């Protein structure tokens, strides 16, 4: 596929041909004015109430497939363009909590258009950075991005009759179970008490036990060491492990990434030297991106962010530049975490950035918030870009066109982000109450957990504890050391031959990968989330691994045999379809619940 794909006639005559300007106008109108705002309102509502949000990819993918179904299997690309645009809108709308944080901190609010301009510039910068890392995270490392995997399967199944027939029971059954589990979590106290999460279970089913078991191990070690951590002063008497665990986990990712990036830099030099011998056209057309233009995009929008931040918002240049530098680092680090565990630790990255600024002597909370805002928006939008590219990688969707759709989504998201924040806080004054200063204020359903965490971190400026610094350096050293040992073991030919030679070798390999020298990227998930969430993630991986082992022993079933229907592509396995369905079911439930809740409040 090229930048200007050949026009393909749809099977429904009234639809515009694929690739025509009318085709892109149809997709853009639906995504910008229906799917994007729908996901954006739900994302804002969820962040203001429960403190987390569900991305709009799944909902937009399903509804977008309904629009492009008439194009047959070619419709998956159009649906992917729409979900890309709609998800960008939702990601930025979720950042409306930053406006709420400014209110809590007593910041004099600038004109709305100033904020929209700043958010838009940061969003454009983030889109470019996300695309910049796509060849590494998506093409080279081939990270799973479980939600992106799920969306790819949904788009293929819903736009292709053959795949729909073969996968509907698995995908539909998983979706139904996910929605039921989410409803039970909301309505039944016992189910909620055990931290039930269909999406977390589904993500575990997609990535497998070698990723999920390390997360469980980290959570278990954290729970086991609670008394010792409290004795060290790293935790208070009633604090859970993840209050310090997220610092250790994110630092572990940084340490492991330092090893991987060093190796990749060496390989990159070798590739540049050998480029003259590489045949032209080796890379598929749909993957090609003009790298000089992309770099110019990142530099240009980074400069625009600095200009708007200093000249329009009156913030210090140095701290804004520091925020941009951190964004370049954490879009990569969070992207790795997102690609492996389906968790984008944006609030953890925000807290780390505040700690670093505190170490560098910053004491003004408003300046810290504006600089960290660059990081928060960039990690949200940039990692969302990478997840969308992973979906496109599975489908063969043109990256340049997908990039353009994401840019349009950022523009709409920047407008809605500030607008929705003002609408919500005007309609519900409880959102303007600083709950750190007024913990007993009657705020109803507006828990604002995300804002609570952001403002709490900002208020630590100038008073960073030794315990947090020690936890960060411990995690950094642990992640670096483990990753060095893993690379040495992976490069040992004798070891690699042994683990592939027999069942005993396979067991040794699994034990080393999952327990003894587990990936720091995978282990960190157990430090980010609550203990029950880590267990659900682990359960999903174990279920998938057991299922795959049992079915492999039975041998492959021939396509078209009785009761089997059509053969599915290799990456549309039973576990990936059911797991993707669980993610879709929970996402749909919370999105619909958010819309219903907002409608009832406005009635």
Rounded to whole angstroms, the Cα distance separating 427 from 459 reads 27
C-alpha distances out from residue 116 to 123, 317, 413, 519, 536, Å: 10, 19, 9, 40, 39
| CA–CA distance, 401 with 288 (Å, rounded to integer) | 11
Instruction: Dump the DSSP string for 30-45.
Output: HIIIIIHHHHHHHHHH
When pLDDT is averaged across residues 549-565 and rounded to a whole number, the result is: 55
Our separate counts of H helices and E strands in the chain read 27, 0
**DSSP conformation letters of 251-268:** HHHHHHHHHHHHHHHHHH
The answer to whether residue 366 scores a pLDDT higher than 50 is yes
| Total residues belonging to the chain | 603
Confidence of residue 557 (pLDDT cuts 50, 70, 90): very low
Joined tokens for residue 421: 């924040």
Tell me: pLDDT of 223 over 60: yes
**Residue linked to tokens 């991305």:** 55
> What is the structure's pLDDT at 185?
80
pLDDT of res. 277: 47
Note the pLDDT tens digit of each residue in 187-203: 887 887 777 778 778 87
pLDDT band at 295 (very low <50, low <70, confident <90, very high): very high
Give 484 or 282, the one with higher predicted confidence: 484
| Mean predicted lDDT score pLDDT of the chain | 78
Element (H, E) at 505: helix 503-511
- Confidence band (pLDDT; 50, 70, 90) for 561? very low
- Contact at 8 Å (CB) between 56 and 87? yes
Over residues 444-485, the pLDDT tens digits come to 656 666 776 677 677 767 666 778 778 888 988 999 999 899
What does DSSP assign to residue 213?
H
Q: Kindly state the DSSP code that residue 440 receives in the 8-state scheme.
A: T
Burial of 321 (0-12, 13-18, 19+ CB in 10 A): middle
The reported pLDDT for the residue numbered 278 is 44
512-522 average pLDDT score: 88
Q: How many whole angstroms separate alpha carbon 398 and alpha carbon 404?
A: 10
pLDDT tens per residue, range 411-428: 998 888 888 888 878 777
- SS3 category, 551: helix
pLDDT of res. 558: 43
Helix segments in 31-160, DSSP class H: 36-49, 57-68, 75-93, 97-104, 112-132, 134, 146-159
**Confidence class for position 600, pLDDT limits 50, 70, 90:** low
Q: Is the pLDDT of residue 349 over 80?
A: no
Residue 408 has pLDDT above 60, yes or no: yes
Task: Tell me the C-alpha to C-alpha distance, in Å, between residue 154 and each of 36, 99, 100, 487, 579.
Answer: 18, 34, 35, 35, 11
């Amino acid at each position: 596929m090229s930048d200007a794909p050949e026009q393909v006639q749809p099977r429904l005559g009234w639809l515009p041909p694929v690739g025509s300007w009318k085709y892109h106008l149809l997709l853009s109108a639906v995504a910008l004015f229906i799917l994007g705002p729908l996901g954006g309102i739900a994302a804002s509502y969820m962040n203001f109430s429960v403190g987390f949000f569900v991305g709009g990819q799944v909902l937009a993918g399903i509804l977008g497939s309904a629009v492009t179904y008439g194009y047959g299997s070619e419709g998956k690309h159009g649906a992917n363009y729409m979900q890309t645009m709609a998800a960008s809108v939702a990601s930025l709308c979720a950042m409306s909590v930053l406006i709420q944080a400014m209110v809590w901190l007593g910041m004099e609010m600038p004109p709305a258009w100033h904020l929209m301009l700043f958010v838009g510039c940061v969003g454009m910068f983030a889109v470019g950075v996300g695309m910049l890392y796509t060849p590494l995270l998506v093409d080279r490392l081939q990270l799973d991005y479980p939600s992106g995997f799920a969306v790819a399967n949904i788009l293929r199944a819903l736009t292709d009759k053959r795949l729909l027939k073969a996968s509907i029971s698995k995908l539909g059954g998983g979706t139904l179970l996910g929605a039921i589990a989410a409803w039970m979590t909301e309505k039944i106290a016992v189910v909620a008490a055990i931290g039930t999460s269909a999406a977390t279970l589904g993500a575990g089913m997609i990535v497998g036990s070698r990723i999920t078991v390390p997360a469980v191990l980290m959570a278990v070690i954290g729970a086991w060491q609670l008394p010792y951590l409290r004795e060290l002063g790293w935790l208070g008497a009633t604090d859970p492990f993840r209050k310090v665990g997220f610092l250790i986990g994110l630092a572990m990712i940084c340490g492991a990434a330092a090893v991987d990036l060093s190796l990749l830099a060496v390989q990159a030099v070798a590739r540049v030297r050998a480029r003259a011998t590489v045949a032209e056209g080796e890379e598929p057309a749909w993957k090609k991106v003009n790298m000089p233009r992309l770099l110019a995009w990142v530099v240009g929008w980074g400069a625009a962010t600095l200009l708007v931040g200093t000249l329009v918002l009156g913030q210090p240049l140095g701290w804004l530049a520091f925020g941009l530098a951190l964004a370049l680092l954490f879009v990569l680090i969070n992207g790795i975490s997102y690609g492996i565990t389906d968790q984008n630790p944006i609030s953890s990255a925000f807290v780390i950035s505040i700690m670093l600024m505190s170490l560098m002597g910053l004491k003004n909370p408003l300046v810290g918030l504006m600089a960290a805002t660059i990081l928060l928006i960039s990690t949200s939008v940039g990692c969302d870009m990478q997840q969308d590219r992973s979906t496109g990688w599975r489908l063969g969707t043109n990256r340049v066109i997908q990039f353009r759709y994401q840019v349009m989504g950022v523009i709409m998201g920047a407008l809605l982000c500030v607008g929705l924040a003002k609408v919500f806080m005007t309609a519900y004054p409880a959102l303007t109450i600083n709950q750190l200063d007024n913990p007993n204020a009657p705020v109803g359903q507006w828990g604002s957990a995300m804002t609570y965490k952001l403002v709490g971190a900002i208020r630590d400026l100038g008073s960073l504890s030794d315990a947090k610094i020690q936890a960060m350096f411990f995690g950094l050293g642990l992640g670096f050391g483990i990753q060095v040992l893993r690379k040495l073991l992976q490069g040992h030919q004798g070891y690699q031959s042994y683990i592939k030679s027999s069942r005993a070798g396979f067991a040794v390999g699994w034990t080393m990968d999952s327990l003894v020298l587990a990936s720091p990227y995978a282990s960190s998930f157990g430090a980010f989330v609550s203990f029950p969430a880590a267990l659900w993630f682990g359960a999903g991986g174990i279920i998938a691994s057991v299922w795959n082992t049992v079915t492999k022993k039975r041998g492959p079933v021939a396509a078209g045999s009785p009761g089997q229907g059509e053969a599915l592509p290799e990456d549309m396995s039973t576990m990936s379809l059911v797991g993707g369905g669980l993610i879709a079911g929970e996402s749909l439930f919370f999105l619909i619940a958010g819309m219903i809740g907002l409608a009832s409040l406005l009635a």
